[in-house]
Structures are given as structure tokens and as C-alpha cells.
Chains A and B, each alone.
Chain A
């Protein structure tokens, strides 16, 4: 048959021996594999070969750039490296890179999916000098709020931890920054699920929390941070007044009679003293507004959040256990604030 003859010929072809010819290249062996390839660009994966070791500052910059790496462990290790290099630097020496440079790369890591990265990030934050942070509150807060309302419960918890650190470092700035008061409180209510009457009940479907580790723990943590936040915002005005008094005795305010209210006329000591004028930003709505004084904050709080938080705390107390204990801290702050607020009103 025709076809089989053809096939036979083809089969024969496989076993013919290639003739060697003078001046011609030798034929490729049978098991030859073509390893050539085409590429638009070639990346050399080698380390730069310099004799001297890179300086610590170059290493620092390099690791900052590695923070946006795809691999989790790489990000975590870089963060660890940054943390050690910051904390081990000589006392009172400046950071290898200013905070304003590092921060934009650090902030997205608040929403990082990997838990190790987030814990390491918190360590790094703690290592940063507190005074440098105060000017960057307005950058930090949106990320923290995004973290607090994230779908994943782990991220929510770590965002709350970051907020706790931030309140520690710069409590007054956090509550008085643009959008820092109302929006953050909204996020708290949303994390706790206290927005509406029925969702605050213990029997309500609390789809929003739990799911991470021990059941009560995240809620407890949130409650503690809420207490801190409330304290920073509307709690303990007496202490501040005392601070002010102490300052008075030492500072310009202590100057003699013909000069009064001197502090107001001096050069302001904050980074952005006229931020409340909002000269260059988008126009703000009620939620995004700055509430700089205690009275403003209390007014807004009493109008909007007081009933919801009271109700929520009451329910938490009734639930008892660790949660109830955690809620007691917050309720204490709340009671003081309310007492003070009513006192002022009277």
C-alpha cells in the first residue's frame, strides 16, 4: 500500500547516518536541546561586585525599596532590618532616611495580607522617634481606618494595634487632625458593630468580628483602644489644664503684667499651625473637618455617638467575662467625659 511504503521510508530516514563533511559544522547530536531564547530585556541577577561593603545608609535605602517586594518573607526581613538599624543607631543621631521618605512605602503595609509583616511593621513603628510621627498623622490615619474596616479580621486587629501605638505617641494630634475624630469613631463603631440598635445586641449576627484566634480577644483589644482613643479625645481635661498651668509657670505666659496672652502672639511651635484654614486641600465636609478643641469634640460626640457607645458598652458589660472587664475601662472614660461635659454645659 502506498501509505505504508511512505511510512517505511520515513522510518528509514530516522536511522540514516549523517555524513561528516570537511569544512562543514558537525551535526547536532540526537539528544540535543536548544537552549537559546529570545527576550526583550536581560536582567542580570547578580549582586553588584564592589570590594567595599555597602554603607549602612545604602543598605537602609535598599531595604526600603525592598518593602514593595512580592514575597512576604522578603518584606518581613526588610522590615526587621530597618527596625534593627533604626533602633541600634547612635543616640540622638538622625534617621538614615527621614520619616517622610520611609512612610509612603511603609503605609500600604498596614493592609498587608501577611501577619508576620504586620507585626514586624508595628515593631518598626514603635522604633520610630515619636516627634517625627506627629507631622504625618494625616497620612497615617486613612490607612489605619482602611485597616480597621478591612474584610479580614486579622488586619482589623493589627490596624487597631497601630492606632493604639499612634495614640500613645501623638494622641492629641490624632483626635484633632482632619477627619481624625468623626471618621475614626465611625470606624470603631463599625468594627464593634454598634451602629444600630439591633446590631449592638449580644444576640445579633456579628459577622464582622471573631474569626481570628480566640473569640473574645479581638473585641477586647478594640474596646481597650477605644477607651484610649476616647481618653485622648474627650477624657481627662483636668490633666491638660494642669499641664498648661505647669507650662504657664515656665514659659512666656509667665511674663509680667502688661503682656497678656503672650503665647498666642509668639511663633507657633507646631508644624502646620494654619492647617485648620485648609488653604490648599479639598473642601472638607462635616466628617472630614478638624475638631481641635475639647468642646468641639465633645459636642460632636454627644450629638452623634454617645447613645450608640453607651448602648454598646452596656451590652458588653452585660455580656460579662473579659469583655465586660474591658468595657469597664471605656465606660469609666465615658462617665468622666460626660460628667465634665455636663459640668461645662451648666
Chain B
């Protein structure tokens, strides 16, 4: 017989992983072996399918291994394994209830593997897995399948958006939610969408439509899932984005340095490549324009219809099964929609009437919702009774300070959105609460006061109006806004830009001296020059009247924390007048001159990119300034710092209630006082701190430290040896000692 060539499998132990490895390397030569194993798989499958429930352990194990094997090398022999995915799907869909758990997981894993190898398209895979996700009673299987579905959707949307797949999947989810509104199966749709929304894989109107249907379902869990999505989904998305953007920064220099020093292996060089690619990708990402993401609330097709449906179905309906907490969430969503889209649901306001008593549980949430629901297109006479009721129920000397605070804050928030809802006498009454003994109430009343100083000072008593408001009234700048009146649109922060330009120009003038001013010879400069002249004229006229107002206001406002208070009021009046004179010059520049110049800069000039960049910078600067506590920060809190889209929370209504005396326990007060202070426990010497830091960073110790830490028994022998030293050694030791003495110890005195 001719000597046969020995096959690799004959030489070594033949097992599936080994064969799999060999097939990967050389699929063509091992086709016969694969074919045999495929038949083997077929036979085992046949045995299994004949009696899925009574399959033996060994049979299941071998089937599992074979499925694993075939799935791993299926891409090498697409023609032999063309039925394989379908077979797996059949097993799974028909028998997933009785399958042994490990086999089940293996089948799911293999299907996903086949999807990765492109032997199976995503739509088919998802259509197989999704029904199982919904029907299976096994928790582990559900978790696995959910994760796999999510992963598949992510990966198929990784490079480009897979519109087709997304559309089919969204339709499936939509049908799931709408088909059976009573069952809780819709939860899976919500869970999936929420996750995908968070990762910005799905961010279109259709997704929002599914969630809208979910929040209109009959099942409480599904309803709340949908409502929560609208209330918190976008925040979640932002947080996720922040997280992903500041994930571990790769120090490329460090990586390169390490490679230069350490042993060079292929693995390490690959790691460097990878790091480089990551850094490059991040750079590119940084330069890309920010993707425009609309919030879910903005993507709704018919907010009015949705809000009305939510309100009538879950809140007004007496048969609704939601508990108070859930109702509050729905209410929050409805009111947010109303506030954001300026919707009109008139029954909503009368609905609130019932809940506005201090004894109502979580009344602050109701108050917050009410404030959210008011906007400037709500008829004032609808809101007026509500405000009246809040004032009557909450704000009185007899009621607890916490209650009064909440009431005042709520009124302020409502009036910030619809100032016309306030009655003049009531306002003056409420403003009086700033003389209250309780700090929380004082702050709340002051908030209301400053709000109306800003919006409609005429409603306040003369002495309550304050300086700015009085000037505004006098110059006709501060007028009551009529119902439905819209402000003419401008560019946000344009006044800041103008102001900045003015300052720059001034600086230049100061550098050159006044005469050089004329040299510029440009129109704008001349305009400014004129304006400046005009201001000068007005200044002399106005200053007398100004002082009168100021002297009145000053006494009343002594408790407000504006920078004006810093000035001692005991000063002689004449002195004050002088100061005011000087001061008024500055304020003139900023306030009076603004009005014409804003129009100027927007109409007479073309903003260059440099201008726009500066504008952006100034805007952020202003935003930062507003956040810094102190002089100007607090004043416009309700209007400036909060974005229109942000929700109003119960905490904001509660406000500074924690400042109310007697309500906080001692521990709470201590905790409050300690807030923001560093821990005083770790008072240590500089050396100790340094040492600690060194240990923290994992740095090594010096020889000296090592010597100091040495076990005494290890050093005893050496000490004993002293007597046995040779003459030379003794001399060296003595010499060294003398040397040290000169230097001043081991560490030395110098340097």
C-alpha cells in the first residue's frame, strides 16, 4: 500500500475546538471534516427535535457543542450551512419553553454570532428574538435576549443609521404597545426605546410616537414608563453624553514612552495603534459640529391632543387606577407640555383648585405643576382665583413658615410666567411678608418683590419700587406687558457685545488722549461721540431728580443684599449726593445709552465672525456671572438662569424653607454648616502628607526610609561587629563622621 499522507487530525487528539481552529486557518482542506460534523449536527438535531422534552444530558451537551462549532465556522462554508440559521431559529421559537437553559443561551449566542458574520440579517434576528423576549417566563433568558437585541441595534447603527431596520423595529414596538393596551408587555418596548434614546441611536419622532402611545395605555406600569421617559429621558441622554465625552483620556505621550522602554511585543504595538486611532477619532469628533438633538417633548406631533388625552384619561377620569404619586408624574408631564408649547387646557386649572391646601400630600409638587402650567397666553382671570386661593390657604401669619414660603414661592413662579394674574392689593399685601421673622418667608417675599420690580413696578407701592425700577418707570422703559404681547426678537447678548465695544473704544481713547479721538474719522465713532455728548447733556438735567428718588428708596431697601447696601446710610446726605453724581455717570453709560445702540448695532452693522465669537464668549461669561453668588447673581434667578425647557421641581417651590428656624434638627444644622468645608480631620505635617501622597502614587521609598524600617534584628549583628572592625575601617568611619560634622549632619546644612 502506498504510504498515505497523515492528516493533521490524525496526529493529535481530535476534538471540536481543535477542528474549529484548523478550519479557521484552512477551510478548504477540512471541508470533509466539516461536512461530517454538519451531518453529525443534523442527526443530533433530528434526535432532539423528535423528543425535545426527553432529551438526555449527553445528547444536549453534544448538540450544544455542535451548534457552537457550526456557528463559529459557518462563514467558511456558506453553501453547506445555508439552512443553519433558520434551523436554530426554529428550535428556539418552537421549544424555548422546554429547552435546557444552557442550550437556549447557546442558541441565542450562536444566532448573534451568525448575525455578526453577516449570515443572518438584523431584521430576521430581531423578529425571532423579540417575540421570545415578550413571551418567555425565564428571567435570565429575557435579560440575555434584551441585551443581545440592544447590542444588535447598536452595532447595526454604529457606522451609519440603518433606517430600514429602525423603521421595522419601531413599527414592531408601536404595534406591541398599541395592540394590547391592558397588558404590561409594552414595558419591553419602553425599556428598549429608553436605552436607545439614551445612547442617541433613536432620536426621531417615530420613537416619541411609540412612547406617546405607551403613556396613553391602560396599564399603570406602561403609563408610568412612558411618562417617565418624557420627563427624564432627555436628561438621561445628556448625562450619558457627558459621561462618554470625559471617559478616560489617553495620554499618547505616556503610551509611546512606555513602548520605548518596555519589551516590544506585537500586542503592545497593537495597543499603541489602538490608542493612536482613539485619539485621532476623538480629535475628529471634537471638530465635528454638535449633532442637533431635539428633546422628546419637542418631537411630539400633536402636543395639544396628547396633553388633553393624558389629562382626560388619567387625571380627570375617576376610574383611573393610578395612585397619587403616579398621578403627580402624569400631571407633571401634562403641565410641562402646557408650559412648553403654550397649550390651552382650561379644565386643568380648575382641577388644581381641589388640591391647593396645605394638608394635601406632596402639595409642593402640585404647586410646581401649577406654575409649570401657567404661561403668558393663559387668561389671567383663570389663574387669579388660584393665586387667591394659594394666598388664602398658605400665606398668613398663622400658618407655618414652611407653608408660607411654599405659597409665596409658588405665587412668584406663577406670576413670573403670567404677571397679569396678580392683583395689585394682593401683591402689596404679600410683599409685606418680607418683614417676617422667618428667613425662608423673607426670602420668598423678596423674590416676589424683585420679580415685580422687574416686570411691573407700577403695581408696587412707590417706596417698594427701588432705584432701577423707578428710573425705568420715569423713562417709560418699564411698561406693563399687555396680554399676549410678544417682545420683538433680537440677538441674545447683543447688548453685552455693544457694551464691550463701548468699553474697548473708551480704553483706546484713554490711551490716545481725547484729541486722538477725532482722528478715527469713522462714522460709528462719530455717532458714539454724539451719543456721548447727548448723555452728557442729559446727565446734568437728570441728576437732581435722580437723587430724590434714591434717597427715598435707600431707606426701604436697606435689607436687600444689593451692592448699594454696602454703602453706609449714615453718611451725610450731601456726601451721598456727590457720590451719586459720580456713580450716575457710569450707570448712564450702561443703561441709558443702551436703548438706541442695540438697535444701532443690529441694524447698522454686519456682525463679523470675530464679533460673533466675542458675543458667544460674553454670553457664557454672563451665564457664569449669574451663577456666582453675590452682588447681581440672585436678582434675576427666576428669569435668567433657568432654561425654558427645564422642569420646575417641588424643591424650588419649597425654596429656602430649610432656613426657617426651629424646623431643622441640630444634626441638620450642623450638616448644613459643614457643607462645603473641607474635612478638618486630616491635619497632618507636610512630611506626612507628602509621604502619604507618595504611597498613594505607588512610588518607591528611598534607601534611608528602607533602612529606617528595617527590622532591628537584622541590624543588631552589624552593630555588634563594631569591635571587630579593622583599623582601616575604623579610620574610614571616623573620617566620614568628621566630614559629616563639618557638613552638618547626614542631610547637610547647605542647599
Known: A146-B43, A151-B16, A199-B31. A215 touches B49 (CB 8 A): no
Interface string of A132-172 (1 = CB under 8 A from B): 00000001001101101111100000000000000000000
- CB nearest neighbor in A for B29: A205
Contact of A145 among B7, B14, B43, B58 (CB under 8 A): B43
A111-B413 Cα distance, complex, nearest whole Å: 79
**Residue A321 interfacial (CB < 8 Å):** yes
> In the complex the two chains form, is B50's CB within 8 Å of A139's CB?
yes
> In the complex the two chains form, is B2's CB within 8 Å of A149's CB?
no
> In the complex the two chains form, is A202's CB within 8 Å of B2's CB?
yes
- Which one of B34-42, B184-192, B533-541, B651-659 contacts A? B34-42
> In the complex the two chains form, is A210's CB within 8 Å of B37's CB?
no
**Residue B286 interfacial (CB < 8 Å):** no
A216-B3 Cα distance, complex, nearest whole Å: 12
List the A side residues contacting B35 at CB < 8 Å: 190, 195
Residue with the highest number of chain B CB atoms closer than 10 Å, among A139, A146, A196, A282:
A146
* Interface of B (DSSP majority class): helix
> In the complex the two chains form, is B47's CB within 8 Å of A142's CB?
yes
**Residue A108 interfacial (CB < 8 Å):** yes
**Residue A206 interfacial (CB < 8 Å):** yes
**Residue B349 interfacial (CB < 8 Å):** no
> In the complex the two chains form, is A186's CB within 8 Å of B10's CB?
no
**Residue A68 interfacial (CB < 8 Å):** yes
Interface string of B249-289 (1 = CB under 8 A from A): 00000000000000000000000000000000000000000
Q: Kindly provide the distance from the CB of B335 to the nearest chain A CB, expressed in whole angstroms.
A: 58
> In the complex the two chains form, is B43's CB within 8 Å of A149's CB?
yes
List CB contacts (< 8 Å) of A181-234 with chain B.
Answer: 183, 186-187, 190-191, 193, 195-196, 199, 202-203, 205-208, 210-211, 215-216
> In the complex the two chains form, is A203's CB within 8 Å of B36's CB?
no
List the B side residues contacting A208 at CB < 8 Å: 7, 32-33, 36
Interface string of A46-73 (1 = CB under 8 A from B): 0000000000000000000000100000
Known: A149-B39, A187-B39, A207-B30. A179 touches B46 (CB 8 A): yes
> In the complex the two chains form, is B29's CB within 8 Å of A321's CB?
no
**Residue B8 interfacial (CB < 8 Å):** yes
> In the complex the two chains form, is B14's CB within 8 Å of A203's CB?
no
List the A side residues contacting B5 at CB < 8 Å: 203, 205
Known: A149-B36, A208-B33. A183 touches B16 (CB 8 A): no
> In the complex the two chains form, is B31's CB within 8 Å of A142's CB?
no
Q: Kindly provide the distance from the CB of B456 to the nearest chain A CB, expressed in whole angstroms.
A: 79
- CB nearest neighbor in B for A199: B32
A321-B1 Cα distance, complex, nearest whole Å: 7
**Residue B242 interfacial (CB < 8 Å):** no
- CB nearest neighbor in B for A320: B1
Category for how many chain A residues contact B = 35 or more
**Residue B4 interfacial (CB < 8 Å):** yes
Q: Kindly provide the distance from the CB of B66 to the nearest chain A CB, expressed in whole angstroms.
A: 10
A149-B35 Cα distance, complex, nearest whole Å: 9
> In the complex the two chains form, is B46's CB within 8 Å of A142's CB?
yes
List CB contacts (< 8 Å) of B29-78 with chain A.
Answer: 29-33, 35-37, 39-40, 42-44, 46-47, 49-50, 54, 56, 58-59, 62
A183-B46 Cα distance, complex, nearest whole Å: 11
A216-B4 Cα distance, complex, nearest whole Å: 11
Q: Kindly provide the distance from the CB of B63 to the nearest chain A CB, expressed in whole angstroms.
A: 10
**Residue B9 interfacial (CB < 8 Å):** yes
A150-B15 Cα distance, complex, nearest whole Å: 10
A190-B34 Cα distance, complex, nearest whole Å: 9
- CB nearest neighbor in B for A143: B47
List the A side residues contacting B15 at CB < 8 Å: 151
List the B side residues contacting A150 at CB < 8 Å: 40
- CB nearest neighbor in B for A107: B47
List CB contacts (< 8 Å) of B2-28 with chain A.
Answer: 2, 4-5, 7-10, 14-16, 19
- CB nearest neighbor in B for A323: B1
Contact of B40 among A108, A139, A146, A207 (CB under 8 A): A146
> In the complex the two chains form, is B32's CB within 8 Å of A207's CB?
yes
> In the complex the two chains form, is A207's CB within 8 Å of B56's CB?
no
- CB nearest neighbor in A for B39: A149
List the A side residues contacting B37 at CB < 8 Å: 149, 151
Known: A206-B4, A207-B7. A142 touches B50 (CB 8 A): yes
List the A side residues contacting B2 at CB < 8 Å: 202, 319
A332-B49 Cα distance, complex, nearest whole Å: 38
Residues of A within 8 A of B (CB): 68, 104, 108, 111, 139, 142-143, 145-146, 148-152, 179, 183, 186-187, 190-191, 193, 195-196, 199, 202-203, 205-208, 210-211, 215-216, 282, 319, 321
Cβ contacts A to B, 21 pairs, < 8 Å: A68-B56, A111-B58, A145-B43, A146-B44, A149-B39, A151-B36, A151-B37, A183-B43, A190-B32, A190-B35, A191-B36, A195-B32, A199-B31, A199-B32, A207-B7, A207-B30, A208-B32, A208-B33, A210-B7, A210-B10, A319-B2
19 new A-B contacts at CB < 8 Å, known A146-B43, A149-B40: A108-B56, A139-B50, A142-B44, A142-B47, A143-B43, A145-B43, A149-B43, A183-B42, A195-B31, A195-B35, A196-B31, A206-B7, A207-B10, A208-B36, A210-B4, A210-B7, A210-B10, A215-B1, A319-B2
The list of the 5 closest CB pairs from A to B, nearest first, reads A207-B7, A146-B43, A149-B40, A149-B39, A149-B36
